[in-house]
Amino acid sequence: MSSSFVIPIQEGTAEAVALKQQKNSFRLCLSSVVHFIRDGIRRSGARKVIHSIKVGIALILVSLIYLIDPLYKQFGENAMWAVMTIVVIFDFFAGATLSKGINRGIGTILGGLLGCLVSIVGQRVDGVGKSVVVCISILIFSAAATYSRSIPRFKKKYDYGAMIFILTFSLVVVSDLREEQVIDLARERLVTVGIGFAVCIFTSLFIFPIWASDELHDSVTSKFEDVASSLEGCLEEYFSTGGHDKKKGSNGCNKCKTVLNSKTKDEMLANFARWEPCHGKFGFSYPWNRYLQIGENLRDLAATVTSLRNCLQSHRQPAKESREPIREPSLAVMATLVWTLRELRGSVRKMRRFQAEAEVLPKLMAVRVELTLFNTQTTLGRPLEKDEELAIASFMFLLTEIVEKTEELAKEVEELGEVARFPSV
């Protein structure tokens, strides 16, 4: 008959094993967190991860109002407005956070003051008259604020402030029907909103700030290269001896589409950049409107390049052998245009003064004159069919249009350097 026995484990040994297991669990958890952050940085970029961490830091700071008893006794349930302020106004770009914060502050102050004023007037009216005063005031001020949100220039900068004004005014006025201490309520709410705003500004501007102005500057400069590479690929594909490269043509078309669809993003970034304080290369009253104008010219140029690409892909184009006589002059024009666009990109990116009259306009004018003197019959040395002649004429017309639009773009870049006071090289 077999006998069983139990090996006794000392109490100290059991505690050591448990402690070791806890340490292993902690290391495993920490390793998972580090791996998750590293994975997020690789997939989404460091800036998105930094922004997410900044939001967490801001919420931790403002949560101290709840966690510290003296602060909670001071503000009570109104502390939730500080948390709501963080969640609502904290944006990816510093300028967006500042814009929303100032709008929220102005809307809260004006809504609170007018709400208190209406409450004081309502207290002097007895009975049903008090409710009538409150209802009429809500109708007038909310309708006026809502109408102002439909005005384009007002909506672009102050839409969020008008919405907060309506919210604060209505809450303060309606609260007076149930609470007598409306002034204290408005004051505490304003203070908690101010605390949330201060925390947002601190974390947004002083902890790895992400500037909308830098994003707009990089966005505009990248468009020059997108249009240049698209034009270069378009003509090289047209005159290539190996035929059409569909993958390369698709890449060039996608770049032009990116430029064409960038208007909304540029306007949003310019609006945020105007709110940002002086930093780095950008001072107060920086001419962001010039960036928007340059972006508009680049979109116009990208649209013409897209038309040129569609024209060259038409089945009415002459045979490859018939294109050879215009190959050299066309590629020479392309080289001049691509060089000009990359020079303009370098000028804007490095923020140096560009002298259009001295550097590129004479070359572009010579190219344009050469294109206008182009004679299809003389250059190709043989008569063409009507479809072929029309295709070549369309090609030359669009190429001339691109030259003219590049001249206008060069003048815009020169004006930007003058207005922004770029240094001369």
Q: Which pLDDT score is estimated for 1? A: 46
What one-character DSSP code corresponds to residue 92? S
Q: Helix, strand or coil for residue 30?
A: helix
Distance of CA 114 to the CA centre of its chain: 35
Q: Which pLDDT score is estimated for 345? A: 93
Q: Which pLDDT score is estimated for 41? A: 52
Closest by alpha carbon to 329, among 387, 376, 391, 388?
376
Q: Which pLDDT score is estimated for 341? A: 92
The rounded distance, in Å, linking the Cα atoms of 309 and 398 is: 10
Q: Which pLDDT score is estimated for 265? A: 92
The rounded distance, in Å, linking the Cα atoms of 39 and 261 is: 30
Residue 367 amino acid letter: V
- The residues of the chain scoring below 50 in pLDDT are 1-2, 4-7, 9, 44, 241-244, 377-378
* 323 token code pair: 């294109």
Q: Helix, strand or coil for residue 202?
A: helix
Q: Which pLDDT score is estimated for 268? A: 92
* Residue 324: partners with Cβ closer than 8 Å, 6 or more residues away: none
* 110 token code pair: 């004006």
The CA radius of gyration of the chain, in Å to the nearest whole number, is 33
Q: Which pLDDT score is estimated for 178? A: 52
Q: With contact defined as beta carbons under 8 Å apart, do 256 and 226 qualify?
A: yes
